[in-house]
Amino acid sequence: MIETTEGDRAFPPALAEVARVEFDYDDGEGVDFEPYDAFDSAEETTDWLRHWTGNHELDGDAYRVFGQDGTGGLAALWCVRPGRPLVEQPVVFLGSEGERGVVAANLSDFLWVLADGLGPMEVVEHEEYDARPIPVLTELAERHATTPRRTTHDIVTAARSEFPTFSEDIDALCR
């Protein structure tokens, strides 16, 4: 079940618009991303995180899951910047087979990644980012983004520089 609650679980308008876009997987040549139209509930996120890490003492309060890839890997806003709105939190990917990484430093930059024709899984699993612009997502980013358009490489490099220990921090949570 997917639900939205008030406060810091309110779904950002840009993500609601992304959820209305149909992503073409194109037999592995497209974007493997299935956006949600609301965040997973806190309970669902906690349950998933506990099973994914093997640590049943964790809660999922730091994550707002808003989509997945075809294997069940999750895209989420990572609430690591205290007191800042959700749209200013980094976007991360937690793959079904343990893959993980920071995708973008904020929702605005993530919109530009999508506009380049790349999803969260592609950013984490590949080191080269061949842009294949998607016009509908470019238009969406132009309407909602508060950061200037940059290449996916520049966006990912900046985000990973800001959060260099994300993967090691996840390792520390695993049992």
Full DSSP string of the chain: -B---SGGGPPPHHHHHHTTSPP--GGGTS---EE-SSPBPHHHHHHHHHHHHS-TT---TTEEEEEE-TTS-EEEEE--STTS-GGGSPEEEE-TTS-EEEEESSHHHHHHHHHTT--HHHHHH-S-------HHHHHHHHHH--S----HHHHHHHHHHHSTTHHHHHHHH--
> Which tens digits make up the pLDDT trace of 87-111?
999 999 999 999 999 999 999 999 9
Nearest to residue 17, comparing CAs of 36, 4, 31, 43?
36
Nearest to residue 94, comparing CAs of 114, 115, 118, 64?
64
Per-residue model confidence (pLDDT) at position 113: 98
Per-residue model confidence (pLDDT) at position 42: 95
Per-residue model confidence (pLDDT) at position 5: 37
Per-residue model confidence (pLDDT) at position 123: 96
Nearest to residue 86, comparing CAs of 11, 155, 17?
11
Per-residue model confidence (pLDDT) at position 135: 96
Low-confidence ranges of the chain (pLDDT < 70): 1-7, 175
